[in-house]
Structures are given as C-alpha cells and as structure tokens.
Amino acid sequence: MDGRAAEPIEEVGESSSPPRGAGGQGAYDIKNEIYERLLESENEEVRSNPYFKEQFDAHFSRLPPSYKLDLNVDRADDVLIHQKVLAEAKDPDKRPVFHVRFQKIEEQNVDTTKNSEDTEDESEFGDTLSARHEVTYAMVHEIIFSTIDKPKLLSQLSTLLSDIGLNIREAHVFSTTDGYSLDVFVVDGWYEEDTDGLHKEIEAAIYRNEGSWSGSSHSSATERILAVQLKADDWEIDRRVLKMGEKFGSGSCGDLYRGNYLGQDVAIKIIRSDHLNEPLLLEFQQEVSILKNVQHDNVVRFIGACTKPPQYCIVTEYMHEGNLYDYLHKHHNVLELSMLLKFAIDVCKGMDYLHQNNIIHRDLKTANLLIDSNLVVKVADFGVARIQNQGGVMTAETGTYRWMAPEVINHQPYDQKADVFSFGIVLWELTTSKIPYESMTPLQAALGVRQGLRPVPLDKTHPRLLDLMQRCWETAPAKRPTFSEITVELEELLEQVQQESRASTRQEKHASKDSVK
C-alpha cells in the first residue's frame, strides 16, 4: 500500500447527517431569506439591536458553506441560538456551552394498498393503487454544544450523551474559522419533554468529567464526524458522496482503492462483480458484522459499507504507511528494539481486545497489520474472522500457511490460541525483518510446521523476546500465553529498554564532560 499521495483539501466543517432544510433550499443563498424572516418577526432581540446585520453576517462568515445547507427558513430562530452559544463559548468559565430544547418530529409512513372499488377496471388500466399516509410523531430533544475545538471532541460529546442514556439520531457538526465548535445533536431516549431535567443531567455529566475538557488544539470536523456512534443502519455508505481515487492493491476477489468520504481519507475494498458468489458474500457480511461492532485504537476504524447490489464495498480509515509486511520487506526497514516492541505491543492490544470480545482473527500476519501516519499499528482484514461462540465446527486451514498454527493445518479443533501462534511468527518477523520460511513454498512450510519446524531466530535476538516467541509457537495451544499476558511482558521489557537507554545517554554526557575537562 502506498499511502504517500497528496492530502485532500478538507472543508472547514461538515455535517454527519443529510441537510435538514426543505428540499431545494441549498440551490440559493438561504442566508438572505433567514435574515428577512428575522426582521419580520416579533423578536425584540433583533428589533432593538442596531448592529444585528453586522453580527448576522459575521456569524455566517465564521462557519463553512455547508452550515447554510443545514438551515431551514421556517426555523430562522435557530441562527439566533447558534449565535448565542458561540458567543458564550468565548468565556472559558462557561465552556462547554450547551442549549437544550424539546421537539416533536413528524414521521410519515406510506402504506400503498390496492383500492378494492376499482378492481373492475384492472384489466384496462392495471392495478389502481391508493396510498394511506400514517403520521406518527417522535419525541426528541435537540442539544447544541459549543466550546474550543479540539481532537476527538465529537467522540467525547457523544460518549457523554450515551452515558446519560441518549441515542443520537443526527449529528450536525461545524468548526468555525477561529477555532470553536458548533455541534447540534438530535437525540431520543429522554423520558419526557422536561428540558430543565435534561439540562441538569448534562451539566452533571460535564462536571463529572471536568478535567477532560481542557485543551484547545484544532481538529478537522471530519475526524469528529466519524468518531460519533450512530445506530447500526447508519453504517450504510451514501455512494453519491464516496469519491474513488487511485487503486493501490488487489486480492483474489477484490481491489483496494484510496478515496474520500465526507472529507475523510479512506480505503475502499471493493468486491469484484465477476467473483460474486454465495461464500464470498457470506465472508463480506461476516467482515462488516465484525467491523461495525469493534472499536479500539489498535483495530482499523470502520467507516461504513455498501451492502446492496450492484457494488459491495467496505470503507475504513486510510492507513498512510501501508501494511507491516511491505514496511519490513519491501522498504527494508530494520527495527530498533524500542520500535519493534512498540509495534508488537500495538498488535497485542488490538488482538487482546478482539479476544476479549470472543473474536478469533484466523489470519494474523504482517500483511494484515496496517500502520497509520503516527506509526500506530492496527489489526485489519476480518474476512475470515470468526465469533468463537457462534457454534459449528470452524474451518480447517483458514489463514495463510506461513503464519498458520499446527492445529489449524492438522484439521484439529482450535480456539483463540491459534492467533497467538501466528503472533509468534509475526514477532520473529519483527526481530529479523525476514519472511518466514523464505526458502520454502507455503505448502512445504505448512508440512514442516506439522512436524515441529519453526523459524530460526537470530543470535542477537533479545533473550526475553526469544523466550516469548518460543512460548507463543508451542505445539500445544494450552502452553501458549494469552495476549493479555504477552502485553504485560512486552510493556515491562520496553520500560527496561527505555531505562537502559536513558542511563546510557547520561553516561555518555558525563564522559563527554570529563573529556572536555
């Protein structure tokens, strides 16, 4: 994977939901009509303010063009509320500022049924249909937040709302040109119209997490959009805004493209139509099912999927440094011990999270470990992953021979410890920068593993790493450690290595001073 192409230019702010204005309003400048509506209103705040026009124009100039698409002329007062919360957010003692209001939203269901009175004319005119409109109302609350913009702000806000027991139906988020956020959530889950009670509950939740609101670094709105947790069916990608870029890889059944979705740099895995069959579709559905239910810093972030014909695809975050296999073998990187341990710990944390959620990866190898622009390693590719307790006999010989556990090769029952064996091979790969069993064909390697063959470590391998990898690839699965245990061992070793490095640096400084004297 070549992730070094030029970065796309991001909008200042975006919305994570479709525009809420009436149809067609985005085709003209809604700003002017809202201004006229506000002047015609009985709002004393507008009538008595001689600087209203200047303040109104300044408000729109702070926000991105997409802000106008979210407005509705029939709710012109929304702009006044947005102005107010943004103005209050300038006071550090008030941040985050929020406003709560109750809404009753009309939800219309159309039931199309045959009109029995017209059945005599069916042969001449075809079926006569009548539509019955059933109108229901959803009781929701709108919560508007404003504070200093910073990384992962939307994730923080959505977690706060979730902790209160609210379900986010929509999230409209914007970043101002001077570094503030304007976040509008439409939520359900609050048991009554009582806005005062909800206001107090949010205030208490903010107070409980007071220390986490510090910081003022600016973040892109797209990062914040994609962090929000929406209901499951919202993972369906809108193809109209999914932009395809360059192809950077291909597999036996699909191709990988770099792309853009709502301003986010993404990777798009497309299942080729000429390979579509029932087993492949089941594999695709399995991968989507797992990805949309996992969230961890060391698991590739799922953004969405196209799950309807004619084109099936999975969209994830784009990992700019490619996969670990290429990083080691194509780019010929030899890892320093501290970096090696950091990479290994990242893998362990991601795998431990999966195992804690009863997921067996079944194809853990360096090609399925991706590296982001901050050199964080994340577990990816869940095409053959399996929920351990979902029943049935798991398929033998699933995965890739050079990294495959002997019990899988031998068609024996297996569990999560098969992933631990694969990690042992990955750890050897990290220490040597070599391909496992390089002089053998994959099948020869598999036959060798059945007979007890393992990769030969380098003489200079750290003894604690050597001991760990050998325990990971034990023939008996029960003798292998868990990823929780491996993580602890690797973190202790990393701390030891860093302490030794610091001590060595201090000694060199002292030696340098002595030589000057």
Amino acid present at 376: V
Question: Which residues, 6 or more positions from 233, have their beta carbon under 8 angstroms from its beta carbon?
Answer: none
Angle of helix 463-472 versus helix 417-432 axis, rounded to 10: 150
363 in active site: yes
- Provide the 10 A C-beta neighbour count for residue 412: 12
How much helix, strand and coil, in percent to the nearest 5, is found in the chain? 45, 20, 35
User: Do the beta carbons of residue 347 and residue 357 sit within 8 Å?
Assistant: no
Angle of helix 77-88 versus helix 52-62 axis, rounded to 10: 80
Amino acid present at 468: L
Whole-angstrom Cα distance, residue 433 to residue 480? 23
For residue 7, give the 3-state DSSP assignment.
coil
Q: In what order do the strands lie in the sheet with 181-188?
A: 14-15, 167-175, 181-188, 129-146, 97-114
Nearest partner of 1 among 479, 403, 381, judged by Cα? 381
The string over 251-279, giving b where at least 16 C-beta atoms fall within 10 Å of a residue's C-beta and e elsewhere, is: eebbebbbbbbbbbbbbbbbbeeeeeeee
The token pair that represents 248 in the structure block: 């950077």
Measured in degrees and rounded to the nearest 5, phi and psi for residue 263 equal: 85, -5
The token pair that represents 170 in the structure block: 């929509």
Which one of 265, 346, 352, 363 is the catalytic residue? 363
Looking at 209-270, list the stretches that DSSP marks H as alpha helix, in order from N- to C-terminal side.
221-227
Residue with tokens 């919305």: 15
Whole-angstrom Cα distance, residue 1 to residue 3? 6
Whole-angstrom Cα distance, residue 6 to residue 27? 31
User: Do the beta carbons of residue 303 and residue 226 sit within 8 Å?
Assistant: yes
Asked whether the bond before 310 is cis by omega within 30 degrees of 0, the reply is: yes
The token pair that represents 174 in the structure block: 């914007």
The token pair that represents 60 in the structure block: 């729109």
Question: Which residues, 6 or more positions from 496, have their beta carbon under 8 angstroms from its beta carbon?
Answer: none
Question: In the 8-state DSSP scheme, what is residue 192?
Answer: S
Whole-angstrom Cα distance, residue 168 to residue 186? 6
Following CA atoms 423, 425, 427, 432 in sequence, which dihedral angle do they give, to the nearest 10 degrees?
A: -160
Question: Which residues, 6 or more positions from 462, have their beta carbon under 8 angstroms from its beta carbon?
Answer: 337, 431, 493
Active-site annotation, residues: 363
